[in-house]
């Protein structure tokens, strides 16, 4: 795979980036784009993560989600440890090409390393100032991370 | 508003951050968290942007989306120029508290500065290696940015 030419074009003018058909991602200073994964059935946001050029190229080539871990500084295929892979139904890129949206079929019980379906299991109440108390929503643990992630 | 105490707690242990009820955002080196805005009706991702502490606090206090522009290095209320404000129906925060998800009622024709409903109006075809040709989806321009954004 790494012997193949890059799937990415050079960044052109704003018009080329926003209204063109060439994939010319804007990687940030750390070489990353943001990726939002939503559940293809429910539409819920499952997770937000990052892709470097290699993760993005592998995701496009394979139709499975690959990410780059900022904390571990490592490429990873979603599900490689947990089995909870993400098969991509549709992939989109945004206007300035620094964020991608993938609609996925989530294998296994969930996307979140804490054992939940989604990483977004707490709501932030609105309309108040001062300290905030989060409210759990859809926060049921569907699997035990200790069973799923080998240490 | 700025005279009020911060709505944010100090970062605690991993367990406190992931399983607690205190809002303790993890701002990155630039002082930002990632925000995903989805359409409360369709579930589509409208945009991905960033919030600094003040944008996040104002969003929580007002129930309207405030962002921080990395390019302009400025706080902005979504719609302050275009009129295309975002009223938040629900706000969530993710496991490690470095990303927020807002479900919004999008005022006006769209969220994207290019005139589209969503910033994600191009699909990335999957399963091929080498150069990628993007495919426009839902890419109809619903408003003319020149009419909406004063220079």
Q: B85-106 pLDDT, tens per residue?
A: 999 999 999 999 999 999 999 9
Question: Closest residue of A to B6, CA-based?
Answer: A130
Instruction: Over range B112-137, report the average pLDDT.
Output: 94
* CB proximity A45 to B under 8 Å: yes
Sign of the CA dihedral running A121, B27, A93, A76: negative
Instruction: Over range B10-32, report the average pLDDT.
Output: 95
pLDDT of residue B21: 96
A31 CB neighbour count, 10 Å cutoff? 12
Percentage above 70 pLDDT, chain B: 95
For the whole model, what pTM was predicted? 0.94
Contacts of A133 in chain B (CB under 8 A): 21-23
Contacts of B95 in chain A (CB under 8 A): 112-114, 116, 119, 121
Contacts of A57 in chain B (CB under 8 A): 129
C-alpha to C-alpha distance for A145 and A84, rounded to whole angstroms? 12
**Residues near B97 by beta carbon (within 8 Å), at least 6 away in sequence:** B17, B23, B24, B25, B26, B33
Q: Which residue has the higher pLDDT, B4 or B106?
A: B106
- A91 closest CB neighbour out of B38, B123, B129: B123
Residue ranges of chain A with per-residue pLDDT less than 50: 1-2
Instruction: Over range B110-131, report the average pLDDT.
Output: 93
Contacts of A131 in chain B (CB under 8 A): 5, 7, 9, 22-23
Chain centroid to CA B84: 13
pLDDT of residue A10: 92
pLDDT at B3 over 60: no
Question: Closest residue of A to B28, CA-based?
Answer: A70
How distant is the Cα of A34 from the closest Cα of chain B, in angstroms? Answer: 8
Residues B36-85: tens digit of each pLDDT = 999 999 999 999 999 999 999 999 999 999 999 998 999 999 999 899 99
pLDDT of residue B1: 47
A131–B7 C-beta distance less than 8 A: yes
């Amino acid at each position: 795979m790494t012997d193949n030419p890059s799937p990415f074009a050079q960044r052109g003018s704003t018009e080329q980036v926003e209204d063109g058909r060439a994939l010319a991602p804007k990687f940030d200073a750390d070489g990353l784009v943001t990726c939002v994964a939503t559940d293809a059935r429910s539409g819920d946001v499952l997770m937000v993560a990052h892709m470097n050029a290699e993760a993005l190229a592998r995701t496009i080539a394979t139709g499975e989600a690959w990410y780059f871990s900022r904390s571990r500084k490592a490429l990873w295929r979603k599900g490689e440890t947990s089995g909870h892979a993400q098969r991509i139904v549709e992939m989109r890129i945004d206007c300035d090409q620094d964020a991608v949206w993938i609609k996925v079929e989530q294998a296994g019980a969930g996307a979140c390393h804490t054992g939940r379906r989604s990483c977004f299991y707490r709501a932030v109440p609105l309309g108040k100032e001062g300290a905030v108390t989060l409210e759990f929503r859809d926060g049921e643990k569907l699997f035990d991370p200790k069973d799923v992630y080998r240490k």
